[in-house]
């Protein structure tokens, strides 16, 4: 594995464990040249999955795109990288479990929102505002009222 800091190609595995959903192996590595540590994930290569976009185009499933959207939604929020990565793994697992070769981008977005809602309400609203493309403040406020109403019922 190439060190992301110095480019050296030799390292040692310091720690190795399965992710919570056991769909990947997380490895902590230490570069034998510079001594810095970094994390890698090892996944089973699944049958290629195509995402059907809103305009009908198809493109390969890319977990990095999902993670990037989640990171933007969770910016300056108390959500760990592990939790964000966990959302991606959960969504990917649900999609692959259906054994379909194609999935609607809207299905992916709905799954991400569902998982974010369980972790952080602000991150959920941020993601939903971009994903659902709220046209005005009224739509945005309706979503907030829905969240606030559910919070009151929990108490």
Tens digit of each residue's pLDDT, the chain (155 residues): 899 999 999 999 999 998 777 778 999 999 999 999 999 988 776 557 899 998 999 999 999 999 999 999 999 999 999 999 999 999 988 988 887 889 999 999 999 999 999 999 889 888 887 777 766 677 777 777 776 676 555 55
What pLDDT score does 154 carry?
55
| Interstrand relation of 24-31 and 37-43 (parallel, antiparallel or unpaired) | antiparallel
What pLDDT score does 47 carry?
59
What pLDDT score does 99 carry?
74
What DSSP string runs through the chain? ---TTT--S-EEEEEEEE-TTSSEEEEEEEETTT--EEEEEEEPPPPP-EEE-TTS-EEE--HHHHHHHHHHHTTTSS--HHHHHHHHHHHHHHHHHTT-SEEEHHHHHHHHHHHHHHH-HHHHHHHHHHHTT--SHHHHHHHHHHHHHHHHHH-
pTM (whole model) above 0.85: no
């Amino acid at each position: 594995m190439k060190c992301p800091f110095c480019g050296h190609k030799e390292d040692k595995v310091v720690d190795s464990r399965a992710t919570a959903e056991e769909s990947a192996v997380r490895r902590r590595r230490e570069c034998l040249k510079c001594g810095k540590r970094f994390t890698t994930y090892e996944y089973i290569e699944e049958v290629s999955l195509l995402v059907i976009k809103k305009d009908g185009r198809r493109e390969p499933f890319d977990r990095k795109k999902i993670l990037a959207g989640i990171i933007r939604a969770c910016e300056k929020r108390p959500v760990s990288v592990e939790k964000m990565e966990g959302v991606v793994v959960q969504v990917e697992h649900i999609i692959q479990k259906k054994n379909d070769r194609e999935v609607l981008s809207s299905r992916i977005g709905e799954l991400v929102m569902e998982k974010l809602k369980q972790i952080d309400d602000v991150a959920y609203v941020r993601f939903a505002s971009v994903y659902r493309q709220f046209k005005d403040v009224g739509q945005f406020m309706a979503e907030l009222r829905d969240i606030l109403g559910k919070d009151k019922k929990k108490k």
